[in-house]
Amino acid sequence: MEPLGRSSAVSEAEPRQRSGEQAEPVLEVTDVSKRYGEREALRGVSFSAHAGERVAIIGPNGAGKTTLLSIVAGTQAPTSGMVSCPPGQVGWVPQQPAVYSKLSVAENLELFARLEKVKDPAVAVQRMLDQSGLRERAGEQVGRLSGGNRQRVNIAIGLLRDPPALLLDEPSSSLDPRQRERLWQFVGTLAQRGTSVVFSTHNVSEAERRADRVLVLADGELLFTGTAAELKREVSHGVEHDFEGAFVAFLRERGH
């Protein structure tokens, strides 16, 4: 069996408020820094996310994206700074699925529901099988599923507590185009019912298409927060860029 190591959450039928209906953010990160000895992995990062909002974190390799998400999830502590949401109210989906490949989909969901002390594990499992579209796969071993379905199991485990915010680290990195489309449809449904979704990705066009707002992180520093269109305008200087080109130009202008 593979080792455990994650936080969890499941969805209620009643949708949460959308960001336009709620002034206060669901999740607020204030001046978060992380130091490993002499190396500063994060430097005073602050951002917020509202109900129903999808926020993408993009940046070069080593920018600090995974470190930031893991701190927000509560799996490691910041050197300084604050996160408004306690870990139990944040669903965490790491890049490498923390599931048991020899157990079935339903058995994995039930196991994690019990480990996370979900109030009614049986109800939570049934709800997530429906919400994730995995009911027909409930009895199949997770190790025999496609990459897309394994990722849906991973996200379903992250939703067992029905958190107001869900964190996804590179959720589509190992999926083919069809699997990615199904995954983002699922994530879009979560946002529509009011879940705040914060995800990291190396695919900047995916960030443009799937996020309401993007954060640009480089060398542990937050350089930009805004829409994809705003980032394009930031570097246009009379030259038309696609989003990937604008992202590269933005980093170059700032010495990264």
**pLDDT higher than threshold 70 for residue 171:** yes
Check residues 52 and 236 and name the one with the higher pLDDT.
52
pLDDT in tens, 69-81: 999 999 999 999 9
Question: pLDDT value at position 238?
Answer: 62
| 240, amino acid identity | E
pLDDT at residue 240, rounded to an integer: 75
**CA distances in angstroms from 33 to 30, 72, 92, 201, 214, listed in the order given:** 9, 12, 20, 21, 20
Report domain extents, the chain.
Answer: 19-98+163-253
Q: How many CA atoms lie within 13 A of 106 on its CB side?
A: 12
H/E element holding 121? Answer: helix 121-131
Q: How far apart are CA 199 and CA 209, in angstroms?
A: 13
With bands split at pLDDT 50, 70 and 90, how would you rate the model's confidence at 256?
confident
Q: Please give the Cα distance from 164 to 91 (Å, whole number).
A: 8
**Residues ≥6 apart with Cβ < 8 Å to 254:** 218, 223
Going by C-alpha positions, the residue among 205, 149, 148, 199 that lies closest to residue 176 is: 148
Average confidence score pLDDT of the chain:
87
Which residues have C-beta within 8 Å of that of residue 209, sequence separation ≥ 6? none
CATH of domain 19-98+163-253: 3.40.50.300
Q: Is the pLDDT confidence value at 241 over 50? A: yes
Q: Compare 10 and 171 and report the one with higher pLDDT.
A: 171
**pLDDT on residue 140:** 95
Handedness of CA 156, 159, 161, 162 (dihedral sign): negative
pLDDT tier, 139 (very low <50, low <70, confident <90, very high otherwise): very high
CA 122 to chain centre: 25
pLDDT, tens only, 182-230? 889 999 999 999 999 999 999 999 999 999 999 999 999 999 999 999 9
- CA angle, 86 then 89 then 90, to 5°: 95
pLDDT bin (cut points 50, 70, 90) of residue 23 is low
168 Cβ contact partners less than 8 Å away, ≥ 6 residues apart: 93, 155, 158, 187, 197, 198, 199, 200
Query: What's the rounded Cα separation, in Å, for the pair 201 and 169?
Result: 7
Question: 54-58 and 39-49 as β-strands: parallel, antiparallel, unpaired?
Answer: unpaired
